[in-house]
Amino acid sequence: MVLMEASAEKPVDVVAGNLHIRLAETTEEIKASQRLRYSVFCQEMAATATLQQRLEQREYDSFDSYCDHLLVFDRSKREAAAVVGTYRLMRREQALRRGQFYTKDEYDITSLLCYPGELLELGRSCVAANYRTGSTMQLLWRGIAEYVFFYNVDIMFGCASLPSTDPQQMQDRLSYLYHYHLAPPALRPSALPERFVDMNLAPADSINVKLTRRQLPPLIRGYLHLGGFVGEGAVIDHDFGTTDVAVVVKTDWVTQKYLRHYRAASDGGQA
């Protein structure tokens, strides 16, 4: 496996072969991530873009300037095309400056806001088509683990998407998440009443668990692999053409499985 090199000077700064993951440091780098988001969300997935976004070929909103942007760079590419993966990160103090977390527009997150530790909202995750490999996703999770460790994050959460606006087409997947991965009440977001879509669409004993889990989007499977839970109720996002579920992850296992594992590899072990 490729040896990963990390820097102790920044929250995230890891090199793996031609790929380099760190936080955006300039406005131009954030714009590059927004162009990638436009390519993935608006061109591939047919999310609704404003006229200005179409003219600029960037997907952005009012949260971007308050967030950290985790970027994967391909060091072999020229600067304009170097950003090949991104994740948007928002901690509690950043959300306070913005006025709210993004997820609050879809879910009641009072239970999370009352949690005494540091919160981290994850969103706007995407990877360029030619880089959707296990190694790229591992690097993204490594970056998140570094960030979590640096800021002592206790809970990660956010909205993850299923690629349809028809819940009946996804009844097995939504029901599987409801029956097998519902968050404990103390950490359970609930879809806002006016947007609430019932996830309990099929009985548990009618679901082919192994097949249904394989049919989930890779990002949701990744959260579940980290011991994540989902909130109560789904939300239809017509702007993005998706059905969203709230995901909650306690970070203990993230740091144990990814941060310590890869730091050991960087010291001479095998990843």
159 part of a folded domain:
yes
- pTM comes to 0.89
111 part of a folded domain:
yes
161 part of a folded domain:
yes
Rounded average pLDDT over 12-26: 94
Per residue in 77-99, pLDDT (tens digit) is 877 669 999 999 999 999 999 99
CATH code (residue 120):
3.40.630.30
245 part of a folded domain:
yes
Per residue in 127-147, pLDDT (tens digit) is 999 999 888 988 998 999 899
d(C-alpha 43, C-alpha 104), whole Å: 26
Q: How many domains does the chain have?
A: 1
d(C-alpha 176, C-alpha 170), whole Å: 10
pLDDT of 269? 37
For the ranges 17-26, 209-218, 228-237, 257-266, the lowest mean pLDDT is seen at 257-266
- pLDDT level of residue 252 (50, 70, 90 thresholds): confident
230 part of a folded domain:
yes
Rounded average pLDDT over 58-82: 91
83 part of a folded domain:
yes
Report the percent of the chain where pLDDT is more than 70.
Answer: 89
pLDDT exceeds cutoff 90 at 1: no
271 part of a folded domain:
no
Domain interval for residue 157? 4-266
Check residues 113 and 257 and name the one with the higher pLDDT.
113
pLDDT exceeds cutoff 90 at 50: yes
pLDDT of 271? 31
16, 3, 145, 162: which is closest to 70 by C-alpha? 145
Q: 111-149: buried (b, 16+ CB within 10 Å) or exposed (e) per residue?
A: bbeebeebbbbbbbbbbbeeeeeeebbbbbbbbbbbbbb
184 to 123, 177, 190, 229, 231: CA distances (angstroms): 22, 13, 12, 8, 9
